[in-house]
Amino acid sequence: QEDLKDFVPLYTTFERFFVRNVIERGYDVLHRPVCTVPGAVIDIRERKFSSSGKFLGLTGKVFRNVVNLGSYNYLGFAQNEGVCADAAVKAVAELGTGVCSNRFEVGNYEIHSKLERKMAEFLGVEDCMTFGMGFATNSMNIPCLVGKGCLVISDACNHASLAIGCKISGATIRVFKHNDMKDLEKILRHSIVEGHPRTYRSWKKILIIVEGIYSMEGTIVNLPEVIRLKKKYKAYVYLDEAHSIGSLGSRARGVTDYFDIDPTEIDVLMGTFTKSFGASGGYIAGRRELVEHLRLNSHSACYGVSMSPPVAQQALSSLNVIMSEEGKERITQLAANTRLFREKLRTFGFIVYGHEDSPVVPLLAYLPSHIACFSREMLARGYGVVVAGFPSTPLGESRVRFCISSALSKQQILDALEAISDIGDIMRLKISAKQILYK
Ligand code: PMP
C-alpha cells in the first residue's frame, strides 16, 4: 500500500482516509465480476476479501439471474440475440474486431461514415464524427475547441471527462452551482464586464459546458435557460448527452427533443454509444465547419484508434431501431418504468434525487458505511445495484444509483421496489410524513 501512495494524487489525505476505511471495507460491492450480457438479468460472481480488504480470490459462487438495476442499458440494446446482435456478428465475420489504426491512416471504414451520416440525420444537424471512446471524446476534443484566453463555465456536477478536457485545454475555468441558472448568469455577467483577469481583454470565446442528464444527480439540465443566457452573453454551448441521448424525448433525441428545442441552437452536441445504444464510443455533432475542424485537429481522432466495426455496426443497428416504430415502444416503456419506479420510491418515504423523467434514479443512503450494506442486501435478494459515496458524492450524501431500462418488465420493477422498501425499513433510510412536515 505504501509504495502505491504516489499513484493516487487525485485524492487529498482526508479523501484517502475515506477511500481506505470505507470503500475498501466494502470492496466486494465494487468491481463485481459479471458473467453475462448486461441485460435485464445478469449473473454475478462472488469474490472474497479479508477484513482488511485483501483479495482472497473468487469463491466460485455465482448469483444467477440477478435483476440488473445498474447498467446504462436504457433502451435494452445490450443483448446477444436479435437483429442488432446478428448484424454485429456479421460485421465480425466481414471486418474482424479491431481496425488497428486511426481515421487518418487506415482505420477509416465505410461503417464509420454510415453511422455518422445516420447520426447527423437522427440528431437533425449537419454533420457528426465518431470516436473510439466516450471519455476521450470529451477529454480530447474540448482542448480543440478552447484554449488560452478562453473562458469555460462548467457545471459543478460535470463528468470527470469534461473536467479533464477543460484542464488540458489551458482555458480559464469557472464552475457554477449545479444547474443553477442564477449562478451561471452571475459568472457570465462578471466575465463580460471584467474580461481576462490579467490582460483585461475580453475573452476570445466563452464556452458553457453542461450535461443532458447528470449521472450522479439524475437532474435534467435547464436547457431553455442555458440557451437564453448563451444568446444574451454571446457564448457557446457544449452539451454532453451521454445519458440523455436515447433516453429522453418522444423520439429519443435527447434533451433538445425533451424541451422541443431546435438542435442547431446547440453549438456542440456530444454523446456516447455506451448507454442507450448498447455499444461503445462517442460522437460530436453540429455544424459542418465544427466537425471538419475536429476531423483534422482532434487528438482522439488523429492519435487514437477508431471504433471497432462490430461496435459501430451495433450502434447503427440500435439507431435504426430507435428511429422505427419499435424504438417508440421502447421509449414509451422506458418512460413508464421510470415514472413508476420514482413515484413508488417517493411514496415509500425515500429521498430520491433528480427529475421525474430521468431514468437515472439516485436514492439517498446518507452515510458512506450504508452503501456496501445496501448493495449486499440487494444482491442477496437477487438484485444488482450501483452504489456511490464520498469522494464521488458529498460526505453525507452517499447514494444508490439505479438506472432504469425499458428491458425491465413491470413485475420486475414492482418486485425490486418491494425489496428496496424492505431494506429501507431495516436500514432506516425512509423518512416519515411527520419528519417531512417538521422539516
Ligand atoms: N460523459 C458522461 C456524462 C458520462 O457519464 C460518461 C461515462 N458514464 C462519459 C462521458 C464517458 O463515456 P464512456 O463511458 O462512453 O467512455
Same domain for 365 and 292, yes or no, is no
pLDDT tens, residue by residue, 167-213: 999 999 999 999 999 999 999 999 877 777 666 678 999 999 999 99
Q: CB of 263 within 8 A of CB of 123? A: yes
Same domain for 203 and 347, yes or no, is no
Give residue 6's domain range.
2-68+332-438
Q: What type of residue is 206?
A: I
Give the model's pLDDT for residue 1: 46
Q: Residues near ligand 1 with C-beta < 6 Å?
A: 133-135, 138, 159, 161, 211, 215, 240, 242-243, 272, 274, 282
Total structural domains in the chain? 2
Instruction: Give the H or E element holding residue 337.
Output: helix 325-348
pLDDT tens, residue by residue, 292-327: 999 999 999 889 999 999 999 999 999 999 999 999
24 has pLDDT over 70: no
pLDDT tens, residue by residue, 320-370: 999 999 999 999 999 999 999 999 999 999 999 999 999 999 999 998 888
Q: Which of 300, 322, 344 finishes a domain? A: 322
CATH number for position 238: 3.40.640.10
Q: Which of 265, 296, 322 finishes a domain? A: 322
Closest C-alpha residue for ligand 1 atom 9: 135
CA 361 – ligand 1 centroid, Å? 17
Mean pLDDT, rounded, of the chain:
91
3 state SS for 249-309? CCCCCCHHHHCCCCHHHCCEEEEECCCCCCCCCEEEEECHHHHHHHHHHCHHHHHCCCCCH
pLDDT tens, residue by residue, 92-121: 999 999 999 999 899 999 999 999 999 999
Distance between CA atoms of 14 and 121, rounded to whole angstroms? 49
Instruction: Note whether residue 403 is domain-resident.
Output: yes
Mapping DSSP to helix (H, G, I), strand (E, B) and coil, where does residue 84 land? helix
CA 356 – ligand 1 centroid, Å? 22
Q: Are strands 236-240 and 206-211 parallel, antiparallel or unpaired?
A: parallel
CA 50 – ligand 1 centroid, Å? 32
pLDDT tens, residue by residue, 376-423: 999 999 999 999 988 788 888 999 999 999 999 999 999 999 999 999
CATH number for position 49: 3.90.1150.10
Instruction: Note whether residue 387 is domain-resident.
Output: yes
Closest C-alpha residue for ligand 1 atom 5: 215
**Mean pLDDT, residues 24-51 taken together:** 85
What's the first-to-final CA gap in the chain, in angstroms?
A: 44
Of 278, 217, 222, the residue nearest 245 (C-alpha): 278
Predicted ipTM of the assembly:
0.99
**Mean pLDDT, residues 17-24 taken together:** 66
Same domain for 426 and 395, yes or no, is yes
